[in-house]
Structure 1
Amino acid sequence: MRMRMLRRGGLIGLAATAALLAGTAPAWADAGDGTAKGATVDVKLLGADAVKAGPFASAQANSSPKNSFLGVKLNGVLSTGVINASAHRDEDSGEVDAAASIVGAKVDLLKALGAPISADVIEARCTATQQGQHGSAKLAGVNLGALGKVAADPAPNTELALGLAGVNIAKVVFNEQVRGEDGSLTVNAVHIRLLGGVLGSIGSGDVVLASATCGPAGLPIPMASGAGLWIGLGLLGAAAVPAALVVTRRRRLATATA
């Protein structure tokens, strides 16, 4: 009888421990993630070979939270100084943030049309908290030539177009914000698009400068909280009662024998 009670108590104790561990395990089924990319080039200019390069300085919260690249030099397309990328997830709050920045960027794609693009600093950033997601872009020392002007902190999806003979052949989007089907938010500080297939086209493709993506924030469960805590405590209590009975019975037997 004693052995049966001890076995039962041991099994209940194991179940209680499992319940407590379930209560302490954080809910990272879809914990959220963040990525950042400094620059990506994928263009085909008329009369020239296709240029596909990057992403330069790629970072990811789940694997490589920081990355840097000394500089890019793609003749006739893009040159930069130092590129930095970072992505981070707070394990306690579940919050995610990602950022990418480029120093000394110069884009020559539109130079022949009077619109060389240059900037001292280009930055994209996104954050994801329990209240939602937010993205922003920062620009400093920007020169857009014939494209015109843009604010240092452009509104989301600010677009400037460049045309020839009344036909748009390129457009530049600042602080481009795109919502993914997975609930993520991507912020591209500068997205240059060449609109191939139209009159006067100089080529087709895209150049993205400073990009940050944030998935929804994670939802960590506090240590031993909620249902897991109460179930675990209840089972531990159930295990303690038969154990106490066994000890009491042993004492009584020992007294009777004496």
Structure 2
Amino acid sequence: MRSRGAALVAAVSVGVVGAVAPAAAEPGAGSAFGASAKVSLLPGVLGDKGLTVDTGRLAPSSTAGPTEASLVDVPLAGLVRAKAVTSSATAAGGGVHSTASIVDVRLPVLAGLAGRTPTVRVISSKCTSGRNGVQGSATITDINLGSLGSLPLDGTPNQRLSVPGVLELIVNEQVKAADGTLTVTALRLKLLGGNSAGLGSGDIALASSTCGKALTTAPPTTTSPGTAPTTTVQPRPKPPGGRQVVEVPVGAPQTGGAGLR
């Protein structure tokens, strides 16, 4: 008979670690966030008992506002630490540009597997929608995963580094929804529930950007003979107050710290 903790881990493994559902966004809309984690950790990792962590999306932004967000000195529930997390999502000319970035990242959650705490200088993603469709990319700079090895960083989407049954790292994850929305997550860590290093099960997403398709322009207006047709495009309303920035101090609930530094 499985223990209560094992049952919890199995439930999270099925509900969280499966395929990532494609996000959807209205045409001309987009969003981004710096990091998120939803995991169930095995006993001995954080405290004597198993612990479920759900941080929500840190430093979220969207074209509906706030269009920019940032955090400093982020302790992501003892799983990830970063000096700065930023995101932005803006709409202009019917198109969208979304970005997310994390600077000076440490991954203590992987220290047991890697033989040291892995570090990354910059993790970032971006996407853009316009007349040529929706495009995205990710950048990972100065990454050291210790004994886990090396990630493929040639720019190809959805490349993986795996420890079977324990961990899967996906770099430049790109997922397109049926409506054409593109979500780019620079680095995703899937904890697969194996007992090695007591990682547990769940999902950690770092630097994620989403862009809906560009708005279509209105048809040409009727003109007199000999006059070049013109096209009228209704501007997308801006959020109240124009550019908006949200800054959350260290230790606030939004950082997922909650005493778990």
When normalised by structure 1's length, the TM-score is 0.68
> In 2 relative to 1, CA 199–54 (structure 1 residues): closer, same or farther, beyond 3 Å?
closer
Partner of 1:107: 107
Partner of 1:51: 53
Alignment RMSD: 2.0
Give the % identical residues. 35
Alignment of 1:116-195 (within 5 A): 116-152=117-153, 154-162=155-163, 167-195=164-192
SS of residue paired to 1:156:
coil
SS of residue paired to 1:139:
strand
Q: 1:96-150 CA deviation, whole Å, 9 max, x = no partner?
A: 1100000111112221112643211110111111111111001111111122123
Q: 1:174-224 CA deviation, whole Å, 9 max, x = no partner?
A: 00001113321000000000012x4646300011000000011112338xx
Q: Give the C-alpha shift of residue 152 in structure 1.
A: 4.9
> Which segments of 5 or more consecutive residues in structure 2 lack a partner in the other structure?
1-25, 44-49, 225-261
From 35, 39, 61, the equivalent of 2:35 is 39
Kept after mapping to 1: 8 A contact 2:171/2:186: yes
SS of residue paired to 2:109:
coil
Kept after mapping to 1: 8 A contact 2:70/2:84: yes
State whether structure 2 residue 212 is matched by structure 1 residue 215: yes
SS of residue paired to 2:112:
helix
| AA in 1 matched with 2:111 | K
When normalised by structure 2's length, the TM-score is 0.68
Q: 1:223-248 CA deviation, whole Å, 9 max, x = no partner?
A: xx425x67xxxxxxxxxxxxxxxxxx
Which is worse superposed, 140-149 or 112-121? 112-121
Q: Distance between the aligned counterparts of 1:153 and 1:125, measured in 2?
A: 16
| AA in 1 matched with 2:32 | A
Task: Please tell me whether Structure 1 or Structure 2 has the larger radius of gyration of its CA atoms.
Answer: 1
Q: Distance between the aligned counterparts of 2:76 and 2:30, measured in 1?
A: 28
| AA in 2 matched with 1:148 | G
> Which segments of 5 or more consecutive residues in structure 1 lack a partner in the other structure?
1-29, 231-258
Partner of 1:96: 96
Q: How many residues align?
A: 191
Which of the pair is proportionally richer in helix?
Answer: 1
Kept after mapping to 2: 8 A contact 1:118/1:143: yes
| AA in 2 matched with 1:33 | A
> In 2 relative to 1, CA 54–81 (structure 1 residues): closer, same or farther, beyond 3 Å?
farther
State whether structure 2 residue 221 is matched by structure 1 residue 226: yes
Kept after mapping to 2: 8 A contact 1:124/1:137: yes
Kept after mapping to 1: 8 A contact 2:105/2:122: yes
| AA in 1 matched with 2:199 | I
SS of residue paired to 2:98:
strand
Q: Give the C-alpha shift of residue 158 in structure 1.
A: 1.1
Q: Give the C-alpha shift of residue 32 in structure 1.
A: 2.0
| AA in 2 matched with 1:178 | V
> In 2 relative to 1, CA 84–76 (structure 1 residues): closer, same or farther, beyond 3 Å?
closer
Which is worse superposed, 77-86 or 107-116? 107-116
